[in-house]
Structure 1
Amino acid sequence: MGSAGLEIKEVECLIIGAGFGAITLLHRLLKEGFDARVYEKGSGFGGIWQSFGKISPSGSDMPGGKSSGGTLLM
């Protein structure tokens, strides 16, 4: 456990920010078999997509991932 009481997990690839490019990179890394994670400080993901309304009917959900307290974990 870290000093803030958070579990520390080692990953091969850590992507900061969940914009369009980050989601594309995550998809490619996972497809190649890497252990990759995306962390987003905001309440959702998609970067500029947010300007065009909701990405999915449920708002910020995405297959294979979940939005939790401002951090997107995939």
Structure 2
Amino acid sequence: MDFLHHHHESEDERLYPIVRARNLAARPLLDRMDADHRSILPAMTALTSAAAAYNRRNALHGDLSRLARLAEAA
């Protein structure tokens, strides 16, 4: 998700302003693309959070499994 975020950020902050200044006819399309970028941002954030939570649960599960094996070996 970081790649997609940086990709959109670079378009929004660098590419689109140049295209807007040079091609007035492109403005409606750029407005729609900007709206698309903003509309998917919450989903990108939610996916990143869900992936982090999943990784934390897997790490915890791995730790608990290792502790269980140690307890069984003792």
More helix by share: 2
Give 1 or 2 for the bigger CA radius of gyration: 2
TM-score under structure 1 normalisation?
0.29
Whichever structure has more strand as a proportion of its residues is 1
